[in-house]
Amino acid sequence: MSKRIIAKVSILFLILSIFTGSVHAVDGDNNESDNDFEIVTDSKIETGDNYEKEEVRAIWVATVYGIDFPSMGATTDSKVLKKQIIDMLQNIKEMGFNTVYFQVRPSADALYPSKIFPWSKYLTGDQNTPPLDGFDPLEFIITESHKRDLELHPWINPYRVTVKDDLDKLPDNHPARMHPEWVVAYGQGESKKHYFNPGIPEVEKLILDGVSEILENYDVDGIHLDDYFYPGKAFKDYNTYKQYKGKYRNIYAWRRNNINNLIEKMHNLVKEKDEKLMFGVSPFAIWANNSSIPVGSDTNGSESYYKMYADTRKWVKEGYLDYIIPQIYWNIGYEIADYEKLLYWWSDVVADTEVDLYIGQAAYRTGNTDPTSPWYGVDQIRDQVELNRKTDNVGGYSMFSYGSFLKNPELMELMKELNKNSDN
């Protein structure tokens, strides 16, 4: 491949989910001991030499619920799946993107033949059923992406097991069925989901083994994680905490350490495979409000530090990542979480580190029919991309998600226009 984006690697990570577009007021999750937070300074990262790098113009292709792929619903027909992939990549290339984050593990499942996880029901309709003709979607999309000079990064959701209360419908050989003690239910009624318990060492090993399986078998350009870590403060893991708490005197710091450990170990795993491979995360954009932690952002929304136990700022300062893509899914000037303020905050976070910053943008919110909405038409995305390009330390963007462009031809044309003069 003639163009892969290669970063310096001397050191290396909607709303409340990637699929929602609202911000919620601070909900009390941050009533933890002040002793729980320790400032991590820039001093732990050596500043690299100045260098020019191609702008990252990325797009997420979501498979959970069949959001973007398979576009016509689950199927085992390899010919149909191949055509959809080729058509999709051709559209992505024509719009000027150069990187694809392809969701291969939406819910403890796989869009490739795995010895660890079952096939994804979103692909074939049944976790026991593979595609016909031995078809491997991940292998195919990697090959076709590289033909078009597109990078392909498998995107995994590490902890989610189910998106509704259907644990009993998983196949008998599913890790969650074989080890129900690893699973925690969260939520009530229709919103009830199941997650692997991050505090169990065997769960950490399962997730890392899953990444190793991908790295050993596929010519990927990196590994990508989204923003799903702990689902909330009410996660029922106190017994696990009592068993494994070690030096941690409160469950909140212990939870953060569990996620920190996973991120650091995954980074090391990726680099052990190949120093040129990229590892990154696309977290919820608000690490913490400055009303909670002084070095936080000038925002008033839910905080990943307290809600998901994801200390995303630490990951940057400690060099656990090659890149970070905060999901800033709000408009410029939004009172609770202003896109511009968050953009500048993240620019400051990555300054003097070797972690690249790309911005996650809400393409799915464009096309609002209300002329008074900031998301009316496509100007909001235009203004955001232009602001990105004027801002220090911002190396590109990622759009959520592919299907949004198919539904909005004006948005598709905008991307072609914005990227036509960019380096290809």
Beta strand residue intervals within 163-309, DSSP E: 183-186, 193-196, 222-225, 278-281
Domain-located, residue 384:
yes
pLDDT at 344: 98
pLDDT band, very low/low/confident/very high, at 424 (cuts 50, 70, 90): very low
Question: Across residues 15-29, what is the average pLDDT?
Answer: 37
Domain-located, residue 16:
no
Q: Say how many residues make up the chain.
A: 424
Q: Give per-residue pLDDT as tens, 112-161.
A: 999 999 999 999 999 999 999 999 999 999 999 999 999 999 999 999 99
pLDDT at 164: 85
Question: Across residues 173-194, what is the average pLDDT?
Answer: 94
Instruction: Name the pTM for this structure.
Output: 0.90
Domain-located, residue 342:
yes
Does the structure show a pLDDT above 80 at 162?
yes
When divided into structural domains, the chain yields a total of: 1
pLDDT band, very low/low/confident/very high, at 12 (cuts 50, 70, 90): very low
pLDDT at 53: 75
Domain-located, residue 176:
no
Which residues span the domain enclosing 324? 34-159+201-232+242-419
Domain-located, residue 193:
no
Which has the closest alpha carbon to 316: 53, 42, 101?
A: 42
Per the listing, tokens 């001991």 go with 33
Domain-located, residue 404:
yes
Question: Across residues 160-165, what is the average pLDDT?
Answer: 90
Q: Give per-residue pLDDT as tens, 249-267.
A: 999 999 999 999 999 999 9
pLDDT at 37: 67
Q: Which long-range contacts (CB under 8 A, 24 or more apart) does 290-296 make?
A: 291/26, 292/26, 292/30, 293/37, 295/39
Domain-located, residue 192:
no
Does the structure show a pLDDT above 80 at 8?
no
- Assess contact for 11 and 356: CB atoms under 8 A: no
Q: Residue 337 is part of a domain; what is its CATH number?
A: 3.20.20.80
Q: How far apart are CA 289 and CA 298, in angstroms?
A: 6
Angle at 415 between CA 224 and CA 144, to 5 degrees: 50
What's the mean pLDDT when you consider all of the chain? Answer: 90
Domain-located, residue 338:
yes
- Assess contact for 282 and 6: CB atoms under 8 A: no
